[in-house]
Structure 1
Amino acid sequence: MQKTIKIILAALLLLCLLDMPYSFYQFVRFTAMVGFVYLGYSAKEQNRKNEMFLYISLALLFQPFIKIALGRTIWNIVDVIIGIGLIISVIKEPNTILRR
């Protein structure tokens, strides 16, 4: 489930580079907040505190209620860095089915 959420979030963040309607960006902010909260909770359950703090920080950054005005260029850079980071974490994550 975590891999799926990371891939979906990465795709949404990279789609933000395109010229989309404002409602799409609002959807991405809300979806990213929910996704990062879930990933933070999952990291807490696995006792991975550094990841938990990272995901909760990202949830706060993307939360749609109190908007953080960084400007389009900075948001694009943030979206690319986080999107690539999510993709890398999916690739590097060990296959949990093979673990015992």
Structure 2
Amino acid sequence: MPFGFYQLVRFLALVGFALLASIASKENKTNEMIIYIGLALLFQPFFKIALGRTVWNIVDVIVGVGLIISIFIPKKII
């Protein structure tokens, strides 16, 4: 894929994780907010974090699986 595609995906990930962090903050879920902020910083497109292709593939899979699992975890009603 062209380099611009990966830049777009990283920018969309930054926006998505920032939005999730904002929602978690409003719901007083500090742990989730910190995780989403960390992921937003990890995937941001402005300053590259060089982890190597293998490590990035592992990170991508772990984050993807974590996001899919988070969809199916029942939300607690307060």
Q: TM-score under structure 2 normalisation?
A: 0.91
Partner of 1:70: 51
Q: Which runs of 5+ in 1 are unaligned?
A: 1-19
| 1:60 equivalenced with 2:62 (yes/no) | no
Question: Does the alignment pair 1:93 with 2:74?
Answer: yes
Name the counterpart of 1:49. 30
SS at match of 2:47: coil
Q: Cα distance, 1:25 vs. partner?
A: 1.2
Higher relative contact order (CA 8 A, sep 6+): 1
* Aligned-pair identity (%): 62
Poorly superposed stretches of 4+, deviation over 4 Å: none
Report the Cα offset of residue 51 of structure 1: 0.3
Partner of 1:31: 12
Deviation at 1:71, TM superposition (A): 1.2
> 2:8 matched to 1:22?
no
Give unpaired runs (5+ residues) of structure 2.
Answer: none
Paired AA for residue 59 in structure 2: V
Question: What is the CA–CA distance in structure 1 between the aligned matches of 2:39 and 2:60, rounded to whole Å?
Answer: 11
